[in-house]
């Protein structure tokens, strides 16, 4: 998250959308310190994965006009994002690690995905690991009506420069666009799970003009 008062913008880190390189390029414009999630206080409420709704409440508590700021976030094709989220969970979940060590394997991608939610408790996890909970939320659930500018991670290099120009800033180099995973991603999805994602994230797919090879064979 980057909060810049002089240029009136907030760059939100929407978990799982590859915001890290962009945040690093905007770091010179950060004008509010960020606390760790577990260390946040009423006097220091801002943290890296703060949701727009949480930020709106923090602004209101300070008497700041949230509506006067550009509120920016990234979005990513949900078919791509959900598999990346699964891989991160597999890499970090201690119970899954214990299961693998005991020779029991770990939950498969499709059963795991069917157990997640597109809002609320999302993909579960501890409260401080909110990247996991929020990583399966839809854009509407994440933004809660507070975002003014959605930028597609896949088109970052094209879409961010005009916004930077409008804000009157010149950040570091914009990271390159995320490579198209192509057909390789379709092998993770069975047809019922692909249909589920297409239904859950229909608004995201339509709003941001996302296509994915897996949709070609979803009945």
* Residue 116 C-beta-side C-alpha neighbours within 13 Å: 31
- Other CB atoms within a 10 A radius of the CB of residue 59 amount to 20
What is the average per-residue pLDDT within 134-156? Answer: 95
Cα distance between residue 93 and residue 12, in whole Å: 25
Question: Within a domain: residue 84?
Answer: yes
Q: Is the pLDDT of residue 35 over 50?
A: yes
Q: What DSSP string describes 112-154?
A: HHHH--SSTTTT---TT-HHHHHTT--HHHHHTT--SEEEEGG
Mean pLDDT, rounded, for 140-148? 97
What is the overall mean pLDDT for the chain?
A: 89
The verdict on residue 118 lying in a domain is yes
pLDDT of 184 above 80: no
pLDDT at 219 over 50: no
In a domain, 57, yes or no: yes
Domains in the chain, number? 1
Spatial separation of the C-alpha atoms in residues 191 and 215, rounded to whole Å? 9
Q: Output the pLDDT for position 39.
A: 87
The answer to whether 70 and 9 have CB atoms below 8 angstroms apart is: yes
* 97, part of any domain: yes
Give the pLDDT band of residue 110 (cuts 50, 70, 90): very high
Report yes or no on 201 lying in a domain. no
Does residue 1 or residue 128 have the better pLDDT?
A: 1
Q: What is the mean pLDDT of residues 151-176?
A: 83
Q: Comparing 33 with 219, which gets the higher pLDDT?
A: 33
Percent of the chain with pLDDT over 70: 89
Residue 4 lies in a domain: yes
Q: Is 105 helix (H, G, I), strand (E, B) or coil?
A: coil
In a domain, 191, yes or no: no
- The residue range of the domain holding 13 is 1-180
Higher pLDDT, 122 or 172: 122
Q: What angle do CA 185, 191, 78 make, to 5 degrees?
A: 45
% of the chain exceeding 90 in pLDDT:
64
Which of 11-20, 38-47, 57-66 has maximum average pLDDT? 57-66
Which DSSP state fits 178?
A: P
């Amino acid at each position: 998250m980057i909060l810049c008062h002089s240029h009136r913008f907030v760059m939100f880190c929407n978990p799982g959308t590859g915001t890290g390189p962009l945040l690093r390029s905007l770091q010179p414009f950060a004008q509010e310190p960020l606390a760790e999630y577990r260390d946040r206080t009423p006097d220091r409420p801002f943290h890296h994965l703060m949701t727009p709704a949480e930020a709106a409440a923090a602004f209101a508590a300070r008497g700041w006009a949230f509506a006067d700021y550009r509120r920016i976030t990234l979005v990513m094709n949900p078919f791509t994002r959900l598999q990346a989220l699964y891989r991160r969970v597999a890499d970090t979940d201690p119970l899954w690690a214990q299961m693998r060590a005991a020779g029991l394997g770990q939950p498969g991608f499709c059963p795991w995905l069917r157990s997640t939610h597109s809002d609320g408790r999302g993909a579960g996890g501890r409260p401080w690991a909110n990247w996991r909970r929020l990583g399966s939320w839809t854009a509407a659930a994440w933004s809660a009506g507070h975002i003014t500018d959605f930028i597609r991670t896949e088109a970052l290099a094209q879409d961010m420069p005009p916004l930077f120009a409008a804000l009157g800033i010149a950040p570091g180099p914009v990271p390159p666009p995320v490579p198209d995973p192509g057909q390789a991603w379709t092998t993770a999805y069975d047809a019922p799970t692909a249909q589920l994602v297409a239904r859950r994230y229909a608004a995201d797919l339509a709003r941001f003009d996302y296509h994915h090879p897996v949709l070609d064979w979803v009945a």
